[in-house]
Amino acid sequence: MLRLSSGILLCFLFPCLALSADPVARKGQPNIIYILSDDLAQGDVGCYGQKLIKTPNLDRMAKEGTRFTQAYCGTSVCAPSRTSLMTGLHMGHAPVRANWEIAKGEGQLPLPANTVTVASILKDSGYATACVGKWGMGMFDTTGSPLKRGFDHFFGYNCQRHAHSYFPAYLYNDAERIPLAGNNGVGGGEAYAQELIQRDAEQWLRANHAQPFFLFYAITLPHGRHEIDDLGEYATTDWTPLQKAYAAQVTRLDSDVGRLLALLKELKVDDNTLMMVSGDNGSSFNETSDIGRRFDQSMGGKLRGFKRGMYEGGLRQAAIARWPGVVTAGRVCEEPWAFWDFLPTAAELAGAKLPVGYQTDGHSLTTMLRGGPAPQRDYFYWELHEQSFIQAVRFGDWKAVRNGPNEPIELYDLKSDSGEKNDVAASHGELVAKAETLLKDAHRDDPNWPVFATQKQRQEWRKSRSAK
Q: What is the DSSP string of 296-323?
A: TTTTTTTS---TTSSSHHHHB--EEEE-
Domain count, the chain: 2
Give the per-residue pLDDT at 368: 98
Would you say the C-alpha torsion 168, 174, 179, 182 has a positive or negative sign?
negative
User: Same domain, yes or no, for 256 and 347?
Assistant: yes
Give the per-residue pLDDT at 6: 33
Under a CB-based contact definition with an 8 Å cutoff, are residues 194 and 221 in contact? Answer: yes
User: Same domain, yes or no, for 128 and 270?
Assistant: yes
Q: Domain containing 414 — which CATH number?
A: 3.30.1120.10
User: Same domain, yes or no, for 292 and 232?
Assistant: yes
First to last CA, the chain: 48
Q: At 63, which helix (H) or strand (E)?
A: helix 56-64
The C-alpha atoms of residue 468 and residue 462 are separated, in whole angstroms, by: 10
User: Same domain, yes or no, for 303 and 199?
Assistant: yes
Q: Which of 339, 369, 399 is a domain's end point?
A: 369
User: Same domain, yes or no, for 358 and 400?
Assistant: no
Q: Which domain does 391 fall in, by range?
A: 387-467
Q: Domain containing 277 — which CATH number?
A: 3.40.720.10
Q: Which of 369, 397, 415 is a domain's end point?
A: 369
Under a CB-based contact definition with an 8 Å cutoff, are residues 86 and 119 in contact? Answer: yes
Q: Which of 369, 401, 427 is a domain's end point?
A: 369
Give the per-residue pLDDT at 467: 60
Count, residues in the chain: 468
278: left (phi over 0), alpha (psi -120 to 50) or beta: beta
Going from the C-alpha of 270 to that of each of 90, 196, 435, the distances in angstroms are: 31, 23, 44
Neighbouring CB atoms inside 10 A of 356's CB total 5
Would you say the C-alpha torsion 278, 280, 286, 290 has a positive or negative sign?
negative
User: Same domain, yes or no, for 361 and 451?
Assistant: no
Say how many CA atoms lie within 13 Å of 65 toward its Cβ.
Answer: 26
Looking at the domain assignment, is residue 202 inside a domain?
A: yes
Neighbouring CB atoms inside 10 A of 225's CB total 12
User: Same domain, yes or no, for 89 and 231?
Assistant: yes
Q: Which residues of the chain have pLDDT under 70?
A: 1-27, 103, 467-468
* Closest residue by Cα to residue 319 from 327, 307, 309, 311: 327
Looking at the domain assignment, is residue 289 inside a domain?
A: yes
Burial of 300 (0-12, 13-18, 19+ CB in 10 A): exposed
Looking at the domain assignment, is residue 222 inside a domain?
A: yes
User: Same domain, yes or no, for 284 and 404?
Assistant: no
For the stretch 285-312, pLDDT in tens is 999 999 999 999 999 999 999 999 999 9
Geometric angle at alpha carbon 169, from 168 and 171, rounded to 5°: 70
Going from the C-alpha of 198 to that of each of 7, 201, 384, 434, the distances in angstroms are: 18, 5, 31, 47
User: Same domain, yes or no, for 210 and 151?
Assistant: yes
Note the pTM of the prediction, 2 decimals.
Answer: 0.93
**Greatest Cα pair distance in the chain:** 68
* Closest residue by Cα to residue 383 from 115, 94, 137, 118: 94
User: Same domain, yes or no, for 321 and 458?
Assistant: no
Give the per-residue pLDDT at 463: 84
Under a CB-based contact definition with an 8 Å cutoff, are residues 342 and 362 in contact? Answer: yes
Looking at the domain assignment, is residue 380 inside a domain?
A: no
User: Same domain, yes or no, for 214 and 332?
Assistant: yes
The C-alpha atoms of residue 375 and residue 337 are separated, in whole angstroms, by: 8
Looking at the domain assignment, is residue 19 inside a domain?
A: no
Strands (E), 53-175: 66-68, 71-72, 128-134, 153-157, 170-173
User: Same domain, yes or no, for 361 and 392?
Assistant: no
